[in-house]
Structure 1
Amino acid sequence: MLTRRRTLCAGAAALGAATVAAAITPGAGKQAPPPAAGAPAARRPLKPSEYRLRPLTGYGPPRTTPGRTPVRTEPLLRVSGRGRTMVLTFDDGPDPRYTPHILDTLARYEVRAMFFVCGEMAAAHPDLLARMADEGHVVGNHTWSHPLLTELRRSRIRSEMERTSDIVEKAHGHRPEWFRAPYGAWNRAAFQLGAELGMEPLAWTVDTLDWTTPGTRTIVDRVEDGAAPGVVVLSHDAGGDRGQSVRALRRYLPALLDDGYHLTVPRRQYA
C-alpha cells in the first residue's frame, strides 16, 4: 500500500512541477491547472496578534447573507490577502507522533494553519481535532481513506467526503469549509460533490515534497525559496515518518516571520 501511495504521490508531484501557479480570486473563472503525528502537549491560550492570528482579508467586504458554494473546474492554488501573507497546510493527519509537535510550534509563534485531515485518522484521534479547534486552526477535508478519487464512482467519493465531514463536525465543532483531493487528483465529481457539501477546493503553490524525506534542510530551503505573497505551502503531519517536517517547521516558521511574512488562514467568501 505504501509503495502504491508513493508511486501515486510521485506522479502527482511531477505533474505539479510542470504547472504554473496563478493567483486567483474567489468567484473568478478559469485558473491555472492544479499540481498534479508523541502524547498531546499541554495547551496554553493563544494571545491575539495583529497579523498571525487574523484570517486573510483580501476577499472583499463580508457578505450579509450566505451564498452558495460555487462549483469550480480547478482548485484554488493561491490565496489573496493584504501584504506578505502566506498559508501553511498539513495533510493526512492527525497523527499523535507528529501533529502535537507541529501544533506546539504553531502555538509558540501564535500562528494559525490549515490541517487537511483524513477521516479514519480523525476518528482515531478526535482529541487532536479538538485541540486544533481550541487553538484556532482550520480543519479541511482530505477524504476518509486517502484514495485516488479519479478511480472511484461518484457514490464512493461522496461517502469519502461526507463521512470525514461528519467526524470533523463532531470533534472540531463545525463542518469543514475546505477540501483537498488526495495526490492532487481532481475530477468533475469531486468539485461538484465538494460544493454540494459546502466546501471550496484548495490545492497548493509550494510543495515541500516532505513525504520523500529529502532532509530537513531541503524542506526548509523549498519553503523559503518559494515564499511569496499568496503562497499556500503543502507539508504533511502523517502518512509516514514526519520527523523532518516537524524539525523543518521549527526552522522556517520563525525565519518567515522575521522576513515580514504573515502566516494565517484564508477566509471563505462563500459560506
Structure 2
Amino acid sequence: MRARAVLATALALLLLGGCGDGTATDRRAAGPDPVASAPLPAEPAPSATPRPSRTAPPRPLVRPLPAKLPAGLRRTTGVRTVALTFDDGPDPAWTPKVLDRLRAARVTATFCVVGTQARRHPELVRRIVREGHQLCNHSWNHDLDLARRPVADIRRDLVRTNAAIRKAVPGAKVPFYRQPGGRWTREVVTVAGQLGMRSLHWNVDPQDWGKPTAATIAKRVRAAARPGSVVLLHDGGGNRAATLAACPHLITDLKRRYGVARLR
C-alpha cells in the first residue's frame, strides 16, 4: 500500500509539472523581449547655437532722438521785441515773486506750466492769466523722454496737462507746447499741432537751471539776445533766487534794446 501511495504521489507531481504555466518556458524559447531589451535612444546633444526666439523683440519704450531739431519749432517772436519764457512752474515759492518783478517792470511773459504743478496750485495759474501773461503746456510731470514715447502716450500727457490748466482757468487758451529739456521729436511736434499748440523752443539759454549767479545770468542773456529772441528762464523746479535777482537787470536791458512782450 505504501508503495502504491508513493507511486501515485510521484505520478501526480509529474502531471502537475507538465500542465503548469508555460510562460517562462515560452519566453526562453522565443528569445529576449525585443522591447525590453532595446537600448534607450540617446538624448540629443545640446546645440552649440541657441535657437532663435519665435517671439518678436519687445517694442522699445522710447525712440532715439533725432540728430537735429525737427521742423516746425518756433524759436523767435517774429518781430523785434524779445519774449521772456519761464518754465517748470507754477511754484508757490518763486512764481509769485517772478510775477511781482514782471508787474513792477510792466512787461508780460509766457509761462510754460507743468500739469502736476497746475493741479496743485490753480490759484497761481489764475494769477498768471489775470495779469496778462501767456500760457504754455510743458507736459504733465516734466518727462524728459515724453517726445520719444508712443504717440498715444504723448497725446494723453498733453491732453491731461491742458485739462489741469483749464480746470484752474475754464476756457484758458494754451497756444504753445514746450518739450522738457528741448528733446524734440517729429512725433511730439505733430501731436502738439493736432491739439492746436505750436511747439515753442528758444534761442537764448542762460542756463539758470545750472545755478549760476544772478550777474552771470544777466550777462549771458545780454550777450546772446538779438531782435526777436525767445529767452529761456525758470520759475520752478528748484531754488530760483538767482533768476529772480537777475530779472530786474536783464529786463531793463532788453526793454531798452528791443522791447519785451509775451508771445503771440
Question: What is the TM-score of this pair, normalised by structure 2?
Answer: 0.71
Alignment of 1:195-234 (within 5 A): 195-234=193-232
1:152 aligns with 149
1:238 aligns with 236
Indicate which of 105, 111, 114 corresponds to 2:101. 105
Q: How far 1:79 sits from its partner (Å)?
A: 1.8
Q: Separation in 2 of the partners of 1:123 and 1:195?
A: 23
Instruction: Indicate conservation of the 8 Å contact 2:89/2:113, yes or no.
Output: yes
Question: What is the TM-score of this pair, normalised by structure 1?
Answer: 0.69
Q: Separation in 2 of the partners of 1:179 and 1:264?
A: 18
Indicate which of 163, 166, 169 corresponds to 2:163. 166
Instruction: Indicate conservation of the 8 Å contact 2:84/2:230, yes or no.
Output: yes
Q: How far 1:150 sits from its partner (Å)?
A: 3.7
Q: Quick check: 1:124 aligned with 2:120?
A: yes
- Tell me the amino acid that sits aligned with residue 142 of structure 2: H
Alignment of 1:1-271 (within 5 A): 34=69, 73-81=71-79, 84-147=80-143, 148-172=145-169, 173-257=171-255, 259-267=256-264
Q: How far 1:196 sits from its partner (Å)?
A: 1.1
- Give structure 2 stretches of 5+ with no counterpart: 1-64
Rg larger in 1 or in 2? 2
Instruction: Indicate conservation of the 8 Å contact 1:99/1:238, yes or no.
Output: yes
1:24 aligns with none
Q: Separation in 2 of the partners of 1:219 and 1:92?
A: 18
1:67 aligns with none
Instruction: Indicate conservation of the 8 Å contact 1:93/1:121, yes or no.
Output: yes
Q: Separation in 2 of the partners of 1:183 and 1:252?
A: 23
Q: How far 1:255 sits from its partner (Å)?
A: 2.6
Q: How far 1:95 sits from its partner (Å)?
A: 0.3
- Give structure 1 stretches of 5+ with no counterpart: 1-11, 20-32, 35-71
Deviations 1:183-222 (A, max 9, x none): 1011122011101110001100100100100111110101
Name the SS for the 2:74 alignment partner: coil
Deviations 1:223-250 (A, max 9, x none): 1112211100001111111111111112
Q: Separation in 2 of the partners of 1:168 and 1:109?
A: 26
The share of aligned pairs that are identical, in percent, is 38
Judging by fraction of residues, say which structure has more helix: 2
Q: Separation in 2 of the partners of 1:73 and 1:233?
A: 20
Q: Separation in 1 of the partners of 2:252 and 2:74?
A: 26
- Tell me the amino acid that sits aligned with residue 151 of structure 2: R
Q: State the number of aligned residues.
A: 198
Question: Root-mean-square deviation (CA), in Å?
Answer: 1.9
Q: How far 1:73 sits from its partner (Å)?
A: 2.8
